[in-house]
Amino acid sequence: MCGIVGGVTNKDITALLLEGLNRLEYRGYDSSGLIVLSKNNSFDRIRSVGKVRNLENILKAREQKISGNIGIAHTRWATHGEPSIDNAHPHISMNSVSLVHNGIIENYIDLKNEQLNRGYSFSSETDTEVIAHAIDFAMKSCNTLISSVQLAIKSFSGSYGLGVISSKYPDQIIATRKGSPLVIGIGTNGNYIASDQMALLSVTKEFIFLEEGDVAEIKIDKITIYDLNGNLVVRPIKISMLKAGSVDLGNYDHFMQKEIFEQPQAIRDTLESRITNDSIVISAFGFKAEKKFNKVKQVQIIACGSSYNAGLVAKYWLEDIAKIPCNVEVASEYRYRRPIILNDTLFVTLSQSGETADTVEALKAAKIINCNICTLCITNSAESSLTRLSDLTFLTHAGPEIGVASTKAFTTQLVSLALLACSIGKLQNTINRSQEKSIINGLKKLPGLIHKALHQEEKIKKLATRFQNKNSALFLGRGTMHAIAMEGALKLKEISYIHAEAYPAGELKHGPIALIDKDMPVIAIAPNDELLEKLKSNLQEVKSRGSQMIVFEDENSLIEPMEAMEVISITSNVGRITAPIIFTIPLQLLSYHVALSKGTDVDRPRNLAKSVTVE
């Protein structure tokens, strides 16, 4: 939700700001903008609606090039105010302060009224402009930029990651965060800020991750940080393991395509050093994990979107393998109710980014309701709000996921959750050594099996063209495959804009079957499991209503092809843990190719952003 990049260097900063914006575009692409302090310490700003390439085109077309040693930039996911030039960041107050913001200032209307009374005028509909005016006003009573920011932020409620520059203090950027991510990059030619380290990989691998409420003064040769109580603090410098190339497209056309095909390796990486001698390394969940998992009596999983769908699959595994009750809920609902949280609950948050605002807030709320619970986050982001707030962390090691539609993050979450169910089952003796071995062997075969499933791409691509003129689609599955059907429907909706719903196949006759006619494509998942015969009956019910069907089956499910029914074999005799992971692959490929055939922007679908750091 909005990306910020900035820096103070001994070189021209403009190229880095643009490169950073391109790397952060996954966080929002409603508008973008950048500002530098030019030689005479005056602001030079350009803004544009839509993707970063529009901003680049404006820059190229300008006769007088933008240049400066200090600057900030922003790519926006609109919350308050439509995508427009006026609403695009950076915002300026009184030609003295300029800033970029990621987050939401909830009390902006009160602040705006106060500032109107003080004589400030507003040129945007955003909540952000009040921040600029508040800092400008604070500068009248403070003698440094950092103390002005420290004073101003006291009046805000809500969330913010901020990069602030001032024409009166041309040697520094002030950075602060609360509820939104912000990192400082330490380079040889200067120092930088960004919402995500990926934006700065071409200039540094050394990062400081700001804590909640920190305020930092960043100069070319010096970084000074104060905590939320105003105490001078030293935050550790971490070396990033990410490579600049890992966030490039390589030979692929889209990040989503690249990430679908990276899944065999992503799963290998997630399993690496988590298994030894066909046995799970429980300490991979944290040194205290064994002690905590021994006592667990129930699991609560909280997540959003695709991560929520992964949680739904895990419920089957935790109850089946570990024999403990598991509840799964979307974070945006959970955080606002008064749930009962029993002692000995393992509270699991699932999140690719580790920054999803609803998930973070749900975790905070749960810790207040019962401070005795053990909290575990399963995330793809080592330095994130969730890892900081949780007792235990398990990293998915999927590598950077840039495509807005989650693919490899989802399947590596499933692998991590399978390891979790197996760990608790092992500790609580609900599975024996040979059952553990068999689960592990299944997981180890996954990269090869996914590779095989990816080979069906050409067949799936041909089927995808059928969706070009469709308005709706139904996805069917039973057991864990219902959650996978939900994930398939979500993928189709978000990147091809076709309305899609998932149903447990047995539930269809209780209402939704009324929707079935020749214009309603139905996609069914048919693994060779104990529910197969039931599913076959459900497919007959659908078929006899004239639907066009696509069935992704296990070779041994032996679904008889009928007229207007395509059956594609994806795999052969896989187990209850591996099956949902493998059957995710054809659904990802289907939505990818439907989106391509419709000509939508696969990696940056409309209205979405990768990391939802606002409520």
Cis peptide bond upstream of 90, omega within 30:
yes
Encoded tokens for 474: 């139904």
Q: Write down the least CB distance from residue 413 to ligand F6R, Å.
A: 8
* CA–CA distance, 464 with 487 (Å, rounded to integer): 17
Q: Write down the least CB distance from residue 580 to ligand F6R, Å.
A: 16
Instruction: Count CB atoms within 10 A of the CB of residue 363.
Output: 24
When the beta carbons of 473 and 612 are compared against ligand F6R, the nearer one is 612
Residue in the structure block whose two tokens are 């705006």 = 112
* CA–CA distance, 528 with 11 (Å, rounded to integer): 62
- DSSP secondary structure code for residue 195 in this structure: S
Looking at 351, 385, 412, 416, which residue binds ligand F6R (CB under 6 A)? Answer: 351
Q: Write down the least CB distance from residue 432 to ligand F6R, Å.
A: 34
* CA–CA distance, 500 with 481 (Å, rounded to integer): 16
Between 532 and 571, how does the x/- string for binding to ligand F6R read (CB under 6 A)?
A: ----------------------------------------
Residues ≥6 apart with Cβ < 8 Å to 144: 169, 217
Torsion of CA 278, 283, 286, 289, to 10 degrees: 100
Residues ≥6 apart with Cβ < 8 Å to 181: 102, 161, 195, 196, 355, 384, 385, 611, 613
Q: Does 612 bind ligand F6R (CB under 6 A)?
A: yes
Between 440 and 479, how does the x/- string for binding to ligand F6R read (CB under 6 A)?
A: ----------------------------------------
Q: Does 301 bind ligand F6R (CB under 6 A)?
A: no
Residue type, 284: A
Q: Write down the least CB distance from residue 525 to ligand F6R, Å.
A: 18
Residues ≥6 apart with Cβ < 8 Å to 95: 42, 43, 167
CB 108 within 8 A of CB 202: no
Q: Does 180 bind ligand F6R (CB under 6 A)?
A: no
Cα-trace Rg, the chain: 25
Looking at 16, 490, 579, 581, which residue binds ligand F6R (CB under 6 A)? Answer: 490
Between 353 and 392, how does the x/- string for binding to ligand F6R read (CB under 6 A)?
A: x--x--x---------------------------------
Q: Does 304 bind ligand F6R (CB under 6 A)?
A: yes
Encoded tokens for 534: 């039931």
Q: Does 300 bind ligand F6R (CB under 6 A)?
A: no
When the beta carbons of 225 and 301 are compared against ligand F6R, the nearer one is 301
Q: Write down the least CB distance from residue 306 to ligand F6R, Å.
A: 3
Q: Which of 446, 443, 426 is nearest to 434 (CA)?
A: 426
Catalytic residue set: 2, 610
Looking at 166, 352, 390, 396, which residue binds ligand F6R (CB under 6 A)? Answer: 352
When the beta carbons of 192 and 475 are compared against ligand F6R, the nearer one is 475
Size, binding site for ligand F6R by CB under 6 A: 15
Q: Does 3 bind ligand F6R (CB under 6 A)?
A: no
When the beta carbons of 380 and 578 are compared against ligand F6R, the nearer one is 380
* CA–CA distance, 533 with 412 (Å, rounded to integer): 30
Looking at 306, 375, 496, 571, which residue binds ligand F6R (CB under 6 A)? Answer: 306
DSSP labels, 554-604? EGGG-PPP-TTEEEEEEESS--TTHHHHHHHHHHHHHHHHHHHHHT--SSS
When the beta carbons of 120 and 308 are compared against ligand F6R, the nearer one is 308
Q: Write down the least CB distance from residue 410 to ligand F6R, Å.
A: 7
> Judged by CB under 6 A, which stretch of 130-138, 346-354, 475-483, 501-509 contacts ligand F6R?
346-354
Binding site for ligand F6R (CB under 6 A): 304-307, 351-353, 356, 359, 405-406, 490, 494, 611-612
